[in-house]
Amino acid sequence: MGLKKNPNNMNKKIFIKTFGCQMNEYDSNRIFNTVQKIGFQKTENYEDASCYLLNTCHIRDKAKEKVYHEIGRVKKIFRSKKKPLVIITGCVAQAENEEMLKREPYIDLVIGPQSYHKINDTILKHIHNKKKIEETEFDPISKFKYLSKIKNDTNKVSSFLTIQEGCDKFCHFCVVPYTRGPEYSRPFTQILDEAKYLVDNGTKEIILLGQNVNAYNNESYKLSDLVKEIENFPKLERIRYTTSHPKDMTEDLIDLYKNTKKLMPLVHLPVQSGSNKILRLMNRKHTIDDYLKTFYKLKEINPNIEFSSDFIIGYPGEEEEDFNDTINFIDKINFINSFSFIFSPRPGTVAADSKLIDKKILIRRLEKVQNLLFENQRRMNRSLENKILNVLVENLTEDKTQVFGRSEHMTSIIFNGDKNDIGKVVQVKIKQSNRSTLFAEKIKISNQKVA
């Protein structure tokens, strides 16, 4: 569209708030890179903003309701000030589209995840004619083509890079196929160009993202091909990918772990339930046996590979026996880290109207699962005390007295480093631990390659 930059719009300030997954974090960053082109600067203060953008998540009901609470908060903050331009992006924008404009007249623009290439034109149009606009077409090809011309200026040691979007699997509980649309894999060279730019600008770790990242397939290039290619950037230290689906853990991807130089030994592989009956009801398209086969194959290749997962507790039809299968499964795998949530019915999904399990039972089951998962985490972290680990240093701690980074298994590490360590792989000795963090002392900068 032929709208030019609006000079009245120069030096405007945008406040961006992000809910949801890493893909939303990546998107928020890319949205900022885009609106910079029409003169927006970023502000970290609500009060300074002339534009307020909320990038939303629809995965559970709580995540969605947070959106309307947040808008209520913004309304209060701006009660005695000039109203900012209010933009809603992300998965709630896609799912509720023009309904949002009706439910909350404070909102000006609603833009879905596959329409971000239209964001500047939409803002400029609104400034021009003050009309409310909703853009929720699925057009990932145009989106990524457009975004590939705008530099990804994250300037972070660890950067996200979306390679795939959407989902064709239609698990019966999940909104993602409706909010992100069908599976789409970005062109191979487009991704490599973005990766190169990130590495040239200081990124040491790339986290490849997709709702089904291991379903990546573009002109027969697979995720394994991408990793092999990205490993060749000499200044890059680490590669990760998330989120994978058990069905797409193909042989080429598993084999990659035999010779990889930079792929980290942590596999985030959501299983959702330890019961085959529940997996069938969920339409997960894999069994516990399939999952275990992948687990044992990878452990055989490298026993240092650890697993993390997602669990849905109390899916309709989950009986005590099914729940016990989940408990036994967690005992077997010893996940290093996991997310667990009570099932939340989502409008439009197959499981939306299923009979819910009693709330008291749900809470008891969630507590039991979380206690087990958290105890595993504590035990595994404790076992690292007095061991030497490689940490990729990301930044200073908030009080600026120490630095923090992550282990190969993604665990947070805080130690007595300084700003010269940022962006380096440093060897540290673990002194103390709790469930989520390791506290360490610096030994020396590592010359060894990690992984």
Cα distance between residue 359 and residue 356, in whole Å = 8
Q: Is 59 in the site for ligand F3S (CB under 6 A)?
A: yes
Nearer to ligand F3S by Cβ, of 173 and 335: the residue is 173
**Side-chain half-sphere of 332: how many Cα atoms within 13 Å?**
14
Instruction: Determine which residue in the list 12, 15, 24, 116 makes contact with ligand F3S, applying CB under 6 A.
Output: 24
CB of 108 to ligand F3S, least distance (A): 21
Q: Containing H/E element for 123?
A: helix 119-129
Contact 236, 201 (CB under 8 A): no
Alpha carbon distances (Å) from 339 to 236, 308, 309, 336: 29, 8, 6, 11
CB of 183 to ligand SF4, least distance (A): 9
Q: Is 90 in the site for ligand F3S (CB under 6 A)?
A: yes
Burial of 209: CB neighbours in 10 Å, binned 0-12, 13-18, 19+: buried
Bridge pairing between strands 217-218 and 266-268: unpaired
Q: Is 162 in the site for ligand F3S (CB under 6 A)?
A: no
Alpha carbon distances (Å) from 160 to 32, 106, 148, 198, 308: 15, 32, 14, 10, 19
Nearer to ligand SAM by Cβ, of 245 and 442: the residue is 245
Structure tokens, 417: 């480093």
Q: Is 58 in the site for ligand F3S (CB under 6 A)?
A: yes
> Candidates 54-62, 99-107, 278-286, 372-380 — which segment interacts with ligand F3S by CB under 6 A?
54-62
Nearer to ligand SF4 by Cβ, of 152 and 212: the residue is 212
In degrees, rounded to 5, the angle at the alpha carbon of residue 173 between the alpha carbons of residues 169 and 179 is 65
Cα distance between residue 146 and residue 220, in whole Å = 23
Tell me which residues touch ligand SF4 (CB under 6 A). 167, 169-171, 174, 176-177, 211-212, 245
Nearer to ligand SF4 by Cβ, of 167 and 227: the residue is 167
Nearer to ligand SF4 by Cβ, of 146 and 341: the residue is 341
Residue 177 near which of ligand F3S, ligand SF4, ligand SAM, none (CB within 5-8 Å, type-dependent):
ligand SF4
Tell me which residues touch ligand SAM (CB under 6 A). 21, 59-60, 173-174, 176, 211-212, 243, 245, 270, 272, 310, 312, 341, 343-344, 346
**Residues at the interface with ligand F3S (CB under 6 A):** 20-21, 23-24, 57-59, 90-91, 175-176, 179-180, 211
